[in-house]
A and B are shown apart, each in its own frame.
Chain A
Amino acid sequence: MNAILEVKGLTKNYKDFQAVKGIDLEVEEGEIFGFLGPNGAGKSTTINMLSTIIKPSTGYAKVNGFDNVKEKNKVRASIGLIFQESTLDEKLTANENLMLHCKFYGIEKSIREERIVEVLEIVDLVDKRKNIVETFSGGMKRRLEIARGLLHYPRVLFLDEPTVGLDPQTRAHIWEYILKLKEKAGITIFLTTHYMDEAEICDRVAVMDHGKLIALNTPEALKAKVGGDIIEITAEDLPKAKEIIESSYNLEVQKKDDKLSFQVEKGSEFLVQLVREMDIAITSVNLRRPTLNDVFLHLTGREIREESVSKKDMMRKSMRGPH
C-alpha cells in the first residue's frame, strides 16, 4: 500500500492563536479517512492546507507525491474538493457548471461529454443536466458538487462536512454515493465531519481537538479503547448515587444533565448487581455499546456535539433578533 497523502509537522499560525498545532499522518490509497472533532477544532484549516488553499506556517504535506506548496498546480490537478458551502454557479445549468470545470482542469475536448454523463450517472442527475442549478434542492446541489469534484478523476477527494445542513434521508443518500464511489473508482476519500455515525463508516478516524490530533485509529479500535459497555442511570438522589458508585465499585462516573454515566467490563451483569445493592431508588437504566461520541468524551471529558449544538442555538437566537 502506498501513502497517497503524507503530512509532517503541519501547523498554521494566525496573529493571536495557533489553529493547527503540528499534525502528522499518512493516508493510504483507497482509504476513507475521517477527520472528527468539534467546530473550531482546526479541521477546516487542516483540510484547506492539504488542498493548497492556505499555506502552512511550518511542516509540509504531500498529495500524490507532490508538495502542496512547491507543486501546487500538480496537487490541484490530483484532488477534488467539496466545500462546506456550495461553490456552484446557480445561474448556470448543471451541464454548464460541469463543462466549465472540464475547461478549468484542461480535460480533453473529445472526452468531456463522456465524462459528464459518467459522473452524472454516479449521482443520479442525468435527467437534470439541462436544468438551472437554482432550481435544485439542497441535496441535488450537493450531489452535483460531488459529480463535479470527480470530473477530472482526482486521486483524492476532499469533503469538508459533506452532509452538513441536509436532512437525514438526503444524508443517507449522499453516503450511498460516496461509498459507491470508493468501490467504483478506488478513489481515496478524506472527509471532515462532526457527525458520529458518519465517522463510523470511515476506514480510519483521526480525532482532532484544539488543533491537535488526540487519537488516530479504526473506529473499532477507538471504541475498544473506551472499554466495555456504557451504563447510564437516573436516580432520585444523583449526587449521592454518584458518590456511592464511585466509592464502592471504584468507577469513574460522569454526571451529565440529570443522569450518570460510566463504563464497565460486563455491562449486563454489573447492572443486576448494582440495582440489587443500591440503597437509592434508581429510576431508569440504559446499557449500550460505546460510540465514537464516547471515545471523544473519554479522550477530552467533553461531548463532541455539546459545543456545536450550543453554538448553533446561539446563532439561531441572534438571527431571530430581539422580539
Chain B
Amino acid sequence: MEGILAVWQRDVIKFFRNRAQLIGSFAMPFMFLILFGSGMSGAMSSMLGGGGESGALAEFDFVQFMFPGIIGMTVFNTAIFSALSVVQDKEFGYMREILVSPMSRVSVAIGKVLGGSTVAVFQGLMMLIFVPFIGVSITISMVLQLIPIMFLVAFALSSIGLLIATALKTAQGFQMVIQVLIFPMLFLSGALFPLNGLPTWMDILVKINPLTYSVDMFKKIILEPEKMDPALRQAMGLDIEVFNHVITFTDEIIAVSILSIVFVVLATIRFNKAEA
C-alpha cells in the first residue's frame, strides 16, 4: 500500500514541478478551441441555421460543442502519455531502483496508473480556465460530476499506456505508437465534430471506439442535452444509438469501467513479467 502511494506521489510531484509541461499543455487545447473552433463556428452555424426554418438550430455554438471534447482530449492525452515516464525510467535507470526493491510489481503498476490518472484529472480541470472565454456555464455540481468521470476515463487510458510502455524500450518509440493510436481514436470519438450523417464504415468505427462514450459522458455533463431542443440534440450528435438502443450515461460508466479493469489487469500482468 505504502509502495503504491510512493510511486503515485513521485509522478504527482514531478507533474507539478514541470512548469514547461504545465504551460505547454494549454497549447493544443487553445489551438483547437480558439483558432480552429472559432473559425469553424461561423461556417457551422451558417450551414445549420442557414435555412432559418428552425430557431433551435440557430443556437448551435461550435466552440461550446467542442469544449467537452477538448477536455476529453486533454484527459486522454495526459493519461496515455503518463506511461511515458515508465519508458523514461527504463532509459534513465530509475526503473531498476523500483524493480529491485521488495515491493510487489503489482503495487508499482497500480501506483503508476493511479499517478497518471491523477495527473490527467488535474490537467483536465485546468482546461476549465477557458470557460469564461467561450460562454459555457459550468456549475459546481458539474465539476463535481466531472472529476470522478475524468478519473475513470483517465484510469482506462493510463492502463492502455502502461500496457504499451511495458513492450517498448525507447521514449521515441512510445511517442510514435501513441500518436498513431490516439489521433484516429480522437477523430472518431465525436470530440471535434458532431457525430451525425456519418458514412456507415465510419459509424461502425465510431461505435467501437471507447473514446466515443468517454467524450459523450463529458458532453452529457457539460452540455446538459436533456434541456435541449431535440433537433439541436440531434444536430450535435448527442443521441448515440447502438442496435436501436439509445446509450445512457449509466451504460457508458459500465462500459468504460469494464475497459479499465481489462486493461489494468493486462498491463499489470505484462509489467509483472518484465525483467529489471
Is A6's beta carbon under 8 Å from chain B? no
Is B132's beta carbon under 8 Å from chain A? no
User: How far apart sit A85 and B3, CA to CA, in the bound complex (Å)?
Assistant: 24
User: How far apart sit A87 and B102, CA to CA, in the bound complex (Å)?
Assistant: 16
Name A28-77 residues within 8 Å CB distance of B.
Answer: 51-54, 73-74, 76-77
- In the bound complex, do residue B97 and residue A101 qualify as a contact, i.e. CB atoms below 8 Å apart? yes
Chain B residues, Cβ within 8 Å of A91: 14, 17-18
- In the bound complex, do residue B14 and residue A92 qualify as a contact, i.e. CB atoms below 8 Å apart? yes
- Which B-chain residue is minimally distant from A76 (CB atoms)? B102
Write the B79-117 contact mask toward A (1 if CB under 8 angstroms, else 0).
Answer: 000000000000011101111111110000000000000
Is B275's beta carbon under 8 Å from chain A? yes
Q: Distance in Å from the Cβ of B222 to the closest Cβ of chain A?
A: 35
- In the bound complex, do residue A87 and residue B93 qualify as a contact, i.e. CB atoms below 8 Å apart? yes
- In the bound complex, do residue A54 and residue B6 qualify as a contact, i.e. CB atoms below 8 Å apart? no
Chain B residues, Cβ within 8 Å of A96: 10, 13
- In the bound complex, do residue B102 and residue A73 qualify as a contact, i.e. CB atoms below 8 Å apart? yes
- In the bound complex, do residue B100 and residue A81 qualify as a contact, i.e. CB atoms below 8 Å apart? yes
Of B5, B92, B93, B99, the contact of A103 (CB 8 Å cutoff): B5
Is A83's beta carbon under 8 Å from chain B? yes
Chain A residues, Cβ within 8 Å of B92: 86, 90
Question: A92-B10, A92-B14 are contacts. A106–B2 as well, Cβ < 8 Å?
Answer: yes
Is A105's beta carbon under 8 Å from chain B? yes
Is B140's beta carbon under 8 Å from chain A? no
- In the bound complex, do residue B10 and residue A51 qualify as a contact, i.e. CB atoms below 8 Å apart? no
Is A104's beta carbon under 8 Å from chain B? yes
Q: Distance in Å from the Cβ of A148 to the closest Cβ of chain B?
A: 8
Is B198's beta carbon under 8 Å from chain A? no
Is B276's beta carbon under 8 Å from chain A? yes
- In the bound complex, do residue A54 and residue B94 qualify as a contact, i.e. CB atoms below 8 Å apart? no
- In the bound complex, do residue A53 and residue B276 qualify as a contact, i.e. CB atoms below 8 Å apart? yes
- In the bound complex, do residue B6 and residue A100 qualify as a contact, i.e. CB atoms below 8 Å apart? yes
Is A89's beta carbon under 8 Å from chain B? yes
User: How far apart sit A53 and B17, CA to CA, in the bound complex (Å)?
Assistant: 31
- Which B-chain residue is minimally distant from A52 (CB atoms)? B100
- Which A-chain residue is minimally distant from B18 (CB atoms)? A91
- In the bound complex, do residue B102 and residue A51 qualify as a contact, i.e. CB atoms below 8 Å apart? no
- In the bound complex, do residue B2 and residue A103 qualify as a contact, i.e. CB atoms below 8 Å apart? yes
- Which B-chain residue is minimally distant from A79 (CB atoms)? B100
Chain A residues, Cβ within 8 Å of B104: 73
User: How far apart sit A226 and B22, CA to CA, in the bound complex (Å)?
Assistant: 64
Is A88's beta carbon under 8 Å from chain B? yes
Q: Distance in Å from the Cβ of A281 to the closest Cβ of chain B?
A: 56
Name B1-48 residues within 8 Å CB distance of A.
Answer: 2-3, 5-6, 9-10, 13-14, 17-18
User: How far apart sit A104 and B14, CA to CA, in the bound complex (Å)?
Assistant: 17
Chain A residues, Cβ within 8 Å of B102: 73-74, 76-77, 104-106
Chain B residues, Cβ within 8 Å of A74: 102
Q: Distance in Å from the Cβ of A321 to the closest Cβ of chain B?
A: 20
- In the bound complex, do residue B10 and residue A54 qualify as a contact, i.e. CB atoms below 8 Å apart? no
Chain A residues, Cβ within 8 Å of B6: 100, 103-104
Question: A53-B275, A92-B13 are contacts. A106–B100 as well, Cβ < 8 Å?
Answer: no
User: How far apart sit A87 and B104, CA to CA, in the bound complex (Å)?
Assistant: 19
- In the bound complex, do residue A87 and residue B3 qualify as a contact, i.e. CB atoms below 8 Å apart? no
User: How far apart sit A52 and B96, CA to CA, in the bound complex (Å)?
Assistant: 11
Q: Distance in Å from the Cβ of B75 to the closest Cβ of chain A?
A: 24
Question: A53-B96, A85-B93, A89-B94 are contacts. A104–B3 as well, Cβ < 8 Å?
Answer: yes
Chain A residues, Cβ within 8 Å of B18: 91
Looking at A74, A86, A88, A100, the one whose CB has the most chain B CB atoms below 10 A away is A100
Chain B residues, Cβ within 8 Å of A54: 275-276
Chain A residues, Cβ within 8 Å of B93: 83, 85-88
User: How far apart sit A73 and B93, CA to CA, in the bound complex (Å)?
Assistant: 20
User: How far apart sit A85 and B276, CA to CA, in the bound complex (Å)?
Assistant: 14
User: How far apart sit A90 and B14, CA to CA, in the bound complex (Å)?
Assistant: 11
- Which A-chain residue is minimally distant from B275 (CB atoms)? A54
- In the bound complex, do residue B98 and residue A104 qualify as a contact, i.e. CB atoms below 8 Å apart? yes
Q: Distance in Å from the Cβ of A18 to the closest Cβ of chain B?
A: 18
> What residues make up the interface of A, taking CB atoms closer than 8 Å to B?
51-54, 73-74, 76-77, 81, 83, 85-92, 96, 100-101, 103-106, 148
Known: A106-B2, A106-B102; 9 extra A-B contacts, CB below 8 A, are A53-B100, A54-B275, A76-B101, A81-B96, A85-B93, A88-B93, A90-B92, A104-B103, A105-B102
Enumerate the 3 nearest inter-chain pairs by beta-carbon distance, A residue then B residue, closest first: A103-B6, A104-B101, A87-B93
Q: 30 A-B contacts, Cβ less than 8 Å apart?
A: A53-B99, A53-B100, A53-B276, A54-B275, A54-B276, A73-B104, A74-B102, A81-B96, A81-B100, A83-B93, A85-B93, A86-B93, A87-B96, A87-B97, A88-B94, A88-B97, A91-B14, A91-B18, A92-B14, A100-B6, A101-B97, A101-B101, A103-B2, A103-B6, A104-B3, A104-B98, A104-B101, A105-B101, A106-B2, A106-B3
